[in-house]
Amino acid sequence: MNVCLATSDYSQTKPLVNELLTEEGATLLKTFEQNGRQSSAYFIFQDHVQCFVSENKTDRVFYADQKTPLGRVNIVFTNPICPRQNMQALLTEFLNEQTIPTVFVAVDQEVAEALRPLGYYINQTGTESRIPLKSFELYGHKKKQLRHASNYGRRVACEVKELSWDEVDESQVKHLSEAWRKSKGVSTREMQYVTRPPVFNDEWRVRKFYCMQGDKLLAYVFFDPYFEQGKLVGYCANILRGLPEKNCNGAIDYTILEAIKIFKAEGVSELSLGVAPLSNIQQDVNDRRGARWFSQLFYKYGNRLYACKALAYHKSRYRPIETPWYLCTKDVSLFRTYWGLLFGLKVLGGKEL
């Protein structure tokens, strides 16, 4: 069964739990807390997302459809929400109901291995970075830059606060976001699906930290939760933005490091820094050579459009555990695949903001 996640129900909301008090919403939240274990699981809560619900009324696949000159494609942009033992059956059920090709992007090895026997090509599409918080420290030469960032508060007399939306200056948050975005290659629109656009409000279980110099906002970081078997596993640092001013260099890392202190004290297991797109692409046993070449070339030459190298370098400073994420394709040309992805994810497109 396919249903649509309407904007008013799931996206730009006040606390999400207040919007999900229906029977369907309660089921989704319960399923999410049991099986939303990928660090990008919370990305399902955004505009234009469709949801396939299995016959058992619990397991779900979230996706979006995108037009291309050669026809539409479905884009599954995060792992399905289901128990591990149900993954292949759910994917088979979902794919049997689709009438157009389905592309899976930014899924992890669990999904890739479930799709392999279904005839899918498996290409690496980047690396996700996770930090085990219990053992995270700032010692060693390789973390010299992070130690410098950890002293940012003392250098510029600022502090990091976790705040609810009614405690922040909305105009400052939106001004900072616009200024930050204008300094990037994708400057006229918010990317979607493989990231989650910022929601300027309170959200269910999302943690939001702000770096303040007096009353001036220097940076903010929004952390999305992910779960397994009803327990919080960790947070994904999804939205990281700072003023593009010289004296604000270090504000984002300082905000992350201060949040890590709080998460460690709470006993949170890990922090995900998200995926570094197209980073460290390696050959898979049944990948598409053209897709691998395109990814490697874009990583090398496409940084004016999207700063893949800078993003990968920033994550590497935390010396995280890196694991590959995947692009999985079947019965669809690479042109149709990449047109759908580049425009669907809004790497390319017209001005919207």
Residues 143 and 105 in one domain: no
Same domain, yes or no: 141 and 269: yes
Question: Based on the domain organization, do 172 and 184 belong to the same domain?
Answer: yes
215: number of Cβ within 10 Å: 7
Residues 10 and 122 grouped into a single domain: yes
Q: Which residue has 């990305």 as its token pair?
A: 43
The pTM (predicted TM-score) of the whole model is 0.89
Number of domains composing the chain: 2
In a domain, 258, yes or no: yes
What mean pLDDT value characterizes the chain? 88
- Same-domain pairing of 43 and 136: no
**Are residue 154 and residue 266 in the same domain, yes or no?**
yes
Quote the domain boundaries for residue 151: 131-273
Same domain, 158 and 146: yes
Decide if pLDDT at 176 tops 90. Answer: yes
Which helix (H) or strand (E) segment holds residue 312: the answer is helix 308-316
Question: Bigger pLDDT: 62 or 304?
Answer: 62
Tell me, yes or no, whether 124 and 245 share the same domain.
Answer: no
Instruction: Kindly report, residue by residue over 326-352, the tens digit of the pLDDT.
Output: 999 999 999 999 888 888 776 666 444
| CA–CA separation, 93 and 272 (whole Å) | 30
Q: Compute φ and ψ for 207, nearest 5 degrees.
A: -105, 130
Query: Out of 3-17, 89-103, 200-214, which region has the weakest mean confidence (pLDDT)?
Result: 3-17
Q: Taken in order 309, 121, 53, 33, is the CA torsion positive or negative? A: negative
The reply to whether 104 and 188 lie within a common domain is no
Same domain, 153 and 239: yes
The C-alpha atoms of residue 72 and residue 340 are separated, in whole angstroms, by 8
For the residues 17-32, what does the mean pLDDT come to?
Answer: 70
Same domain, 136 and 266: yes
Q: Is residue 94 part of a domain?
A: yes
Residue 15 has pLDDT above 60, yes or no: no
Nearest to residue 161, comparing CAs of 197, 234, 202, 215?
A: 215
On the CB side of 202, CA atoms within 13 Å amount to 14
* Domain match, 33 and 158 both: no
The pLDDT confidence band at residue 14, using thresholds 50, 70 and 90, is very low
Lookup result for tokens 């494609």: 73
Question: Which among 286, 87, 305, 22 is positioned nearest to 189, based on CA atoms?
Answer: 305
- Joined together, the tokens standing for residue 318 give 């935390």
Would residue 313 count as lying in a domain? Answer: no
Query: Which residue, 128, 121, 107, is CA-closest to 289?
Result: 121
